[in-house]
Amino acid sequence: MNYFAVWTIYKQEMARTKRTLFQSVVSPVISTCLYFVVFGSAIGSRITEIDGVSYGAFIVPGLIMLSLLTQSVTNASFGIYFPKFIGTIYEVLSAPISFFEIVLGYVGTAATKAMFLAMIILATAHLFVPLEIAHPFWMLLFMVLTALTFSLLGFIIGIWADNFEKLQVIPLLIITPLAFLGGTFYSISMLPPVWQTVSLFNPVVYLVSGFRWSFYEIADVSVGVSLAMVGLFLGLCLAIVWWIFRTGYQIKS
């Protein structure tokens, strides 16, 4: 393991965050605060509680997961796409480091940024609603697995994209809608039976449900199923990344 190479990639990507601090940190936090104000006040005045939890507190895990998903994908996709765009990716590929170390550097940085932002949002949420975390270990586990999984997905998107428009297509048209329809602001038990069944085909439902359970011990699906789905998605992303470097897809061409 070439730790120096991994650390170099990690340090370089983290330095970029400092140069774009407002876009990387401040802007997502402000957006989340607006969600608290709009949904917590407007809808919270009509829906006081869900499963014994105040509505304002109920949406906190969903909002954190929403930010975690989007930031993981965005950071990882841009992190690997930009070296492709300016041509410096070939310097990385020609360096004496393995594909695993390249992925570890870029994906590790994206996951770190996303988790750091999630922690800031969690701390900010305390200013709006009282929070309880019933299972801190499981909360951190879900955060780490989700950040790694969607950072890998973002890495794949960054490799696949050959222009900035493609870089935004999947996050905007697929991931964000799935996150909003994945129980971020509601429990799927509130939906009609048919739509409850349809919602179970949304992978984000399992992420939000498991993460919310770590806070309040309430979930739309069992925690074991949630972990299994995260593990399945993580394995799928790892397999695709392995195939990309094995074939050189969109890298060596």
Residue 179 inside a domain? The answer is: yes
Number of domains making up the chain: 1
List residues bridging with 50 in a β-sheet.
Answer: 53
Reported as a single tens digit per residue, the pLDDT across 173-204 is 888 888 888 888 888 888 888 988 888 899 89
pLDDT number for residue 31: 75
Confidence of residue 23 (pLDDT cuts 50, 70, 90): low
Rounded average pLDDT over 123-150: 88
Which residue intervals of the chain are DSSP H helices? 3-19, 21, 27-35, 55-86, 89-94, 99-125, 136-160, 164-170, 176-180, 193-199, 203-216, 223-247
Residue 216 inside a domain? The answer is: yes
Confidence of residue 28 (pLDDT cuts 50, 70, 90): confident
Dist CA 94 CA 66 (whole Å)? 36
Residue 31 inside a domain? The answer is: yes
Dist CA 126 CA 138 (whole Å)? 19
Residue 252 inside a domain? The answer is: no
DSSP letters, 215-232, are: HHS--SS-HHHHHHHHHH
> What 3-state class would DSSP assign to 100?
helix
**Boundaries of domain holding 178:** 3-247
Residue 71 inside a domain? The answer is: yes
Which of the two residues, 212 and 50, has the higher pLDDT score?
A: 212
* DSSP designation for 36: I
Whole-Å CA distances, 147 to 71, 113, 187, 191, 246:
9, 9, 23, 28, 24
Residue 253 inside a domain? The answer is: no
pLDDT number for residue 252: 63
Q: What percent of the chain has pLDDT over 70?
A: 91
Q: Are 229 and 203 in contact (CB under 8 A)?
A: yes
pLDDT number for residue 154: 92
